[in-house]
A and B are shown apart, each in its own frame.
Chain A
Amino acid sequence: MMEIFTSLLTSGISLATPLLLAALGEIIIEKSGIINIALEGMMLVAAFFAMYVALISGSPILGLVAGVFSALLSAAIFALFCVGAQADQIITGAGLNIFALGLTGVLLRRIFGLTGATITAPTFTILPVPFLQKLPIIGPALFTQNALVYLALLLIPITWLLLTRTRLGLHLRAVGENPAAVDAAGLPVQRLRFAAVLIGGSYCGLAGAYLSIAQANTFIEGMTAGRGFIALAIVIFAGWRPFAAAAVALLFGVASALQFQFQAFGLKVPYQFFLMLPYILTIVVAAFFRHRIQAPAAMAKSYFREG
């Protein structure tokens, strides 16, 4: 019984990690008053470049760096449009998602041939943490994972600290609530938002790299499979709070792991029901633990100084 629980948690954490990373990044971006629906696209671009660089260099670490860098570039493009040119954020985000799907598809076919090759890229392997992995139940689940999972776990408190305990975090939140006041105080509104998009984008880079060089060891067109949008929902369910986002992501991950265990167990229930399970469970829990936190007041609104 305990073993099943541990394997459920292990699998759940590994499914939750990319969602968590993307959600944390999105919290930072949305707190600054920008809504970035291009999480999916940024992750996909990062997944591709992480795989490609890991493959040609033989080093998953270089792959990770390339993944984060490529996501930063996509985030910079997004910020140029939405912050610099004050374009509509939803339209730009949707455009970026489609662009990412096309770009990675074209590159994959250019580099690996039209009909593809089965790519096997070097990956982050499981790295048990001494002593901690011996803890009952949660030890093996939390501490026999790969390095990126540990990084994601560390980023939960770091993101929280950044937003609530640093000057930059205070400024970012202020920009998201009342950019005019921030402007009046003499702070650079657009530059702060630009910074938030870049920081959030790098989180998406980690999430994308996780998919291609930590979870699977390959790149597949469209392999993000909607995770960017689930992360978007997690941010809202969690009320823009990093620890709550971790809890919701973990819940979703464990629910997904549970449905695979149910299927593997050979229960004679249509599998579509099991596939629905994580979504239903998350909605039910979110409905029970309702929060009254409002979205940042200036979210999705471009800031123009009133002249």
Chain B
Amino acid sequence: MKLFSKVLFAFFVLLFISSCAKEKTATNQFRVALLSPGPVSDAGWNAAAYEGLQRIEKELHAQISQIETKTPSEFEEAFRDYARQGYQLVFGHGFEFQDAAAAVAPNFPKTVFITTSGNTVRPNVAPMVFELEHATYLAGALAALLSQSGKLGMVGGIEIPPVTSTFDAFEAGAQSVKPDIKVNRSFIGNWEDAGAAKQAALALIDQGCDFLIHNADAAAAGVFQAAAERNVLVFGTNKNQNDVDPQHILASCVSNIPAAFVEMAQLVRDGKFEGKIYRLGMPDGVVSFEINPQLQSQIPPAVMTRLEEIRRQIIAGTIKVPSKV
């Protein structure tokens, strides 16, 4: 009985606190929420989405909210929670959110659910696909043109289609200029373990890889560290990471995620949203390949001309970059 009354007391305290925390909401303000699969402090994939959300708050005067969710049951719960509160737009930041979005969407026709990457489409569910493959294809071509050993390495977080797809494009880009190039990949199984990412990168370097690319989010710090220790060159991804280690990061494959978020939010606010796959790549100016100016001298002019030619063909659509998502 004593325990029961204590628990009851704690329950009422919580109830009281949560009622104090209830936000004051303008009735018809535009409200946007973000479900991130990891901490937004990762200076990478999640941080970019949060920057997008902050820009939506500033530029579209929206009310914003963000939550970190790890498991599929949390995805559904959070989607449902925001929709119930009347949010007009909820982003699920990753491929892994599509099933949860599709499950929740029919019950909340007034809310639009956007997943970043994926292929699940409903009247109020759409994936926004960043074609980072355009940039990793270029990175692959550049690495193959410069490689001495004829071996390139890739370090990934978890083997999900958006990651393998960027790696496939890297491989295709490399083989397009040097058909006999060897490209090996290694996965660490999460997005946080920089120590494991470092050892994965060192193992690739041990096997003779002299260029590395990553798609491991925050854990990429370990890949950069390995590249610095063994003095090989590496490519950054998702954000422009050239400044992280200007001596070893040759170029970055960049998605302008914040800009895409703002654009999407604008469509939804203006009622122009359609349930379809939104593809955003190099031709749209959302994806770019940024060479580190400090290492520009390492790229001979002939290679640079060749690279420019490939870039033009990707934008013109004459080169079809493979993409699985």
Q: Hey, which bits of chain A sit against chain B, CB under 8 A?
A: 4, 7, 11, 14-15, 18, 105, 108-109, 112-118, 120, 123, 126, 211, 215-218, 220-223, 225, 256-257, 260-261, 263-266, 271-272, 275
Q: B208: nearest residue on chain A (CB-CB)?
A: A264
Question: Given A225, A260, A265, which contacts B192 in the complex, CB threshold below 8 Å?
Answer: A225
B294 contacts the other chain (Cβ, under 8 Å)?
A: no
B187 A11 Cβ-Cβ under 8 A? no
How long is the Cα–Cα vector from A265 to B203 in the complex, in angstroms? 9
What 0/1 pattern do residues 220 to 258 of B give for CB contact below 8 A with A?
A: 011001000100000000000101110000000000000
Please tell me which one of the listed residues A105, A261, A263 contacts residue B39 in the complex, with CB atoms under 8 A apart. A105
Interface residues of A, dominant DSSP: helix
Nearest-Cβ distance from residue B155 to partner chain A, whole angstroms: 9
Interface contact A256-B196, CB-CB below 8 Å: yes
Q: Please, which residues of chain A bring their CB within 8 A of the CB of B189?
A: 271-272, 275
CA of A221 to CA of B190, assembled, Å: 12
Chain B, 16-73, CB within 8 A of any chain A CB: 38-44, 47-48, 50-51
Which label, helix, strand, loop or mixed, suits the secondary structure of the B interface?
mixed
**CB contact between B245 and one of A105, A113, A120, A266 (< 8 Å): that residue:** A120
B198, A264: Cβ atoms closer than 8 Å? no
Q: Are A18 and B221 closer than 8 Å at their CB atoms?
A: no
Report chain B residues within 8 Å CB of A123. 225
CB contacts (< 8 Å) of A120 on chain B: these are 244-245
Known A-B contacts A114-B40, A116-B40, A215-B222; A220 and B51 likewise in contact (beta carbons under 8 Å): no
* List of A residues within 8 angstroms of B203 by Cβ: 7, 11, 257, 260-261, 263-264
Judge whether A118 and B222 touch: CB under 8 Å.
no
B41: min CB distance to chain A, Å: 4
Contacts of B198 in A (CB 8 A): 215-216
Residue of A nearest to B207 (CB): A264
Whether A115 touches B50, Cβ cut-off 8 Å, given contacts A120-B245, A216-B194, A264-B153, is yes
> A220 near B50 (CB under 8 angstroms)?
no
Query: Would you give the shortest CB distance from B198 to chain A, in whole angstroms?
Result: 6
Let me know if A118 and B41 touch, CB within 8 A.
no
Q: What A residues does B195 contact at CB under 8 A?
A: 15, 18, 211, 215-216, 223, 225
A264 and B204 in contact (CB under 8 A), knowing A105-B39, A117-B43, A216-B198? yes
Bound CA span A221–B221, Å: 13
